[in-house]
Amino acid sequence: LNKIKLKYIVFCENLFISKINTGGIPDNKNRTLILDINFNKKYFERMMHHEIFHMIQNSNKDFFNENYWASLNNSNFIYSECSTCSDRLGLDINEKTNGFLTDYSKSIPSEDMAEIFSFLMINNKNAKNKIQNDKILISKMEYLTSSLKKIDENFSFK
């Protein structure tokens, strides 16, 4: 949190972006993380890590190349134009991953990165098993780890 210079955490209720209920919004300009305290309890802890990742990425854009990230996927896969213009909103772990832990991961590259980061930060064993059995997810995790180590050489997932 020191590396992203987080100043404030704002707790609110009924947070929406483009008419979509959301758990959090990272505001890099004001160094503020906005969190909806009524967001689905099942996802709340992971959502906090997801939004923190967005702050990390937005503070270190040079370390997270979204074009390279997209190239790690199967060649026939195309991300949506934006996360809020996609119907890919599912947050549960996919039964068949094919490079994506959740349906929301399929929206845009930054959401894909944030989803993987969030599962690994909460030490989700099911996600780790899915990653270990998916070559694309292994590549994505390795890329995330190497990028995060550029920010903090001691970084590691639990």
Q: Whole-prediction pTM value?
A: 0.90
Mean pLDDT along residues 7-23: 88
Q: Using one digit for the tens of pLDDT, what is the confidence trace for 48-95?
A: 999 999 999 999 999 999 999 999 999 999 998 877 666 667 788 888
Is the alpha carbon torsion for 149, 66, 136, 23 positive or negative? Answer: positive
- Pick the range with the lowest mean pLDDT from 4-13, 18-27, 126-135: 18-27
Residue 54 and residue 22: Cα distance in Å, rounded? 14
